[in-house]
Copies of this chain bind each other. A is one copy, B any other.
């Protein structure tokens, strides 16, 4: 059957780490790919910005700097977008979809803001839009959420989906070094980019949270809907205190279904560094690894673990999508469409309840603890743990609360800041992954 079917033409846009690996697989693994697709997968061209750059392993006649013309070729059926960023990828993907070509992309920033537009274009022209590689690299997460859990009700998705920040936090926990030093080391080792803002300030994790929340809750969530806090203010003292509480600190992307007493539902989507107990499955996810925990009504808790970044792992996810999109063209099938029927609103972070860890520098004298505790009590926030560390000038008070709304906690912190006995609020972090 395979030899009888018309070849499927593929165009690759972008030749970075992932693009290079995708081109390698497409050119090295032709026999297996043909057998799996049911027709030959033929690489028609690779669009790059700089034609003068050496590209070992790529036949020179396949290289072009005219992406639009490559996409427009009649013999291109599938466009693989690996450029990154909003433009030109958005225009390229629109052009491909509008002319009925299928698109595979790893572009989380674009998807987080423009899935609606792109999914509509794909639906209108009956083409596929696949993006497994946009979240957690090689780890299958999008397809399990969209297909395997299609008959279940997802309650929560919580993941470590940014390798740079996980590398930094793991290293800080292990070495006791401070943030700036560890970031520099991550840069030297290739785990952080020259401008690390998108990673360390949580923009990348927030884009991924938007994608996960949209799929998990059949709604449309964009990056702007996601509450976001980065890791740049985490100190060695925070990690040390976390360890004393049998916790570690991880940058989490959390998507939650909030069900009110009257049955109305909302989505919470948020990214922040949080303390999690060492016994939590995500606590053991170290270095550049990623993991996503999904909790659904019937499945219970599932965990997906693996390499969340890197050329070859991300290319694995891209190529899975390419084979599925190609098969759909051979067999006149079609991947799942965007599903946004639930249209759940996104809750403000002020209404979302979590547990908190508050660390403050205090005067070391009788009565201070009672005063501090009083501010929490006044706003009906229960305290689970209070610990004083150091003494005299170095007295540090650690408070861990029970579940509290973000709004009440912020008021409490403001009140503590006004107290004479509190010299400084050192850290306010959330605590996740406990049974409460």
Q: Which of B298, B306, B312, B335 contacts A25 (CB 8 A)?
A: B298
Contact A316 B299 (CB under 8 A): yes
Contact B313 A307 (CB under 8 A): no
Contact A339 B35 (CB under 8 A): yes
Which residues of A, 113-168, contact B by the 8 Å Cβ criterion?
132, 138-140, 143-144, 147-153
**Interface presence of A177 (CB below 8 A):** no
A298 proximity list for chain B (CB < 8 A): 21, 25, 138, 312-313, 315-316, 319
**Which of A61-69, A205-213, A325-333 forms contacts with chain B?**
A325-333
A140 proximity list for chain B (CB < 8 A): 140, 143-144, 148-149, 302
Contact B319 A150 (CB under 8 A): yes
**Interface presence of A305 (CB below 8 A):** yes
Whole-angstrom distance between the Cβ of A165 and the nearest chain B Cβ? 20
Residue with the greatest number of chain B CB neighbours at <10 A, chosen from A148, A151, A319 = A151
Which residues of A, 225-271, contact B by the 8 Å Cβ criterion?
none
Q: Which of B147, B218, B297, B342 contacts A324 (CB 8 A)?
A: B147
Contact B306 A151 (CB under 8 A): no
Given contacts A151-B320, A153-B32, A319-B151, is CB(A302)–CB(B305) below 8 Å? yes
**Interface presence of A300 (CB below 8 A):** yes
A138 to B304, CA, bound (A): 12
A149 proximity list for chain B (CB < 8 A): 140, 316, 320
Which residues of A, 45-99, contact B by the 8 Å Cβ criterion?
none
A402 proximity list for chain B (CB < 8 A): none
A315 proximity list for chain B (CB < 8 A): 298
Contact B218 A151 (CB under 8 A): no
